Amino acid sequence: MLPVFVIDSAVTVGNWELPFPVRTIGIKVYIDDKEYTDDVDIDKETFYSLFGKAKNFRTAVPSPLEMERVLRDIISEGCTRIYCVHLSSKLSAFYNVMKSVTERLKEKFPSVTFRVIDTRQVSIGAGYVLLKLMESVKDGREDLERVVQEANERIKIRFSVLEFDYLMKSGRVKAITGMLGNLIKIHPILSIEDGELRVVAKKRGLKNVVEKIVQDLKIDGRKMLGLVYAGEEMKEIVLEIEEKLKDEHIERVDIVRLPPTLAVHSGPKMFGAGVFIL
């Protein structure tokens, strides 16, 4: 039987043909203290319609019991190899909770092999790591931590937000930085470096932000391009970035909408792009 890959809802998968089956565990999303499970009982369209209406947004990792239930279901189907691939452990507790769940299940199911893997990425970046992991498992590689490192060396992510309120509330940026951004339109350009959120530049005005993102992602050679946006009004911006980055070496382009799991922290005015060098 084929191995099964278990991911969380912060791992963004494009419209890819994957060699192995995937199960997604949705992260909990709380909107004005009402609980939802991402991609289970709330979809992206419904979620984004609530911005401007709801006052409070937050996320939480699913309970160990919920994670265990998913893994037990997979085992009951006869699977003996389960790969759990998750967003950066420096941005979420999901990886550590899943690690403890699988350690407990190893004692009950000694014939099942569990591998819990920290992508050190989020969104489309984590999706690119997943692709590389699947390719490596198909080729019989066992050194998956090395595979993650190799993949991260070939991924470059840049994104920005046009309003800071949500990042400030989630603790992802300092309050003073957010206040300055909201007041004088200086926007950060962010990246994921070694699993952490990093500000790599600050630019005044949307035009300069787009130009800097394009400049940073202009990379020679064969590559995949991923474009991510939150609110519908941000889609036009990523289409502009796509047009500026297009060249004959891009083998595929994926345009995806940020899942509720992540949009809770970024707010609706988030956009970004990433390249995966092949």
Task: Give me the residue spans of the domains in the chain.
Answer: 2-26+61-151, 153-275
Q: What type of residue is 269?
A: K
In the numeric block, which tokens belong to residue 246?
Answer: 């297009």
Give me the pLDDT at residue 175, please.
Answer: 47
List Cβ neighbours of 135 (8 Å cut-off, separation of 6 or more).
19
Q: What is the CATH number of domain 153-275?
A: 3.30.1180.10
The pLDDT tens digits of the residues spanning 219-257 come to 999 999 999 999 999 999 999 999 999 999 999 999 999
Give me the pLDDT at residue 181, please.
Answer: 54
pTM of the model: 0.93
Give me the pLDDT at residue 169, please.
Answer: 67
Give me the pLDDT at residue 176, please.
Answer: 44
Q: What parts of the chain have a pLDDT lower than 50? A: 175-176
Q: What is the CATH number of domain 2-26+61-151?
A: 3.40.50.10440
| Pick from 198, 199, 172, 196: nearest CA to 186 | 199
Q: Which DSSP category does 198 fall into?
A: E
Rounded to 5 degrees, φ, ψ at 139 are -85, -5
Alpha helices per DSSP H over 21-63: 44-49
Is residue 190 within 8 A of residue 159, CB to CB? The reply is yes
Is residue 125 within 8 A of residue 228, CB to CB? The reply is no
Give me the pLDDT at residue 236, please.
Answer: 97
Q: Where are the beta strands (DSSP E) in 57-118?
A: 57-60, 81-86, 113-118
